[in-house]
Chain A
Amino acid sequence: MESVHLGTQGTLWAWTIQGFAPKSPPYLGPVADGQFEPYGVGYVVLPGELKVEARLTIADPKELQEGMAMRLTTVPLQTDEAGDRVVTFAFEPMETVNA
């Protein structure tokens, strides 16, 4: 196995919104009533490389559109027992959708 650095920008290929709290574990984010917030999930095409599955920063169907330009960021999951902030990778739109 060899590590490869992938690009950080691409286009949205397919998406959904996770509308219910996943089982925890394994999910590290908040799941309690009133704490869970729906989040976007999608595949982003990284040109010349692959499509990568990731969290999206947007959870509103009206603000997501296939083909829109996306860039890499992070989203918070939890603060662990040592007090460290646990984050995961995510993609955010580089422009807003013209409805």
Chain B
Amino acid sequence: MNSIQQQRQHWMSVLARAPSDLLYRLSDEAIKEIGFEIIRAPEIGLTQVRARMGNQGDRFNLGDMTLTRCVVRSEMDTLGYSYIAGRNQQHALRAAQLDALLQTPCMGEALQERVIKPIEAALEQARSAKQQETDETRVDFFTLVRGED
């Protein structure tokens, strides 16, 4: 897998997981003057989520989840795709628009700085806050033997 593809996977993932209002706030300015052609209007559907027992065993069907997907073309002729969890069509549209722009040489760098990095920071912050909250209430069972010791 090449690094361009990895980079794109990374930003698509960040855009998909971003809190909607933060995403709109950070990107309203950037997309304002750019024309987009809708190739596949945001549409809601179901997808099947599969998992592995203990993350390494046999695969099984965990369940269905709602998914919204969207494809647009920017006026710079790049195609932007988005697949997001849930039913927020506006979020899917915005994520697709940003995916299209992030692929352009002229705007990609700037958007990385102005949109992707702040969202990443916010996601990381939310994750570590949750982690901390969990750690605070962790119960250690001293009477039980854990692991090898």
A binds B: no
User: Which residues of chain B have a CB within 8 Å of any CB of chain A?
Assistant: none
User: Which residues of chain A have a CB within 8 Å of any CB of chain B?
Assistant: none
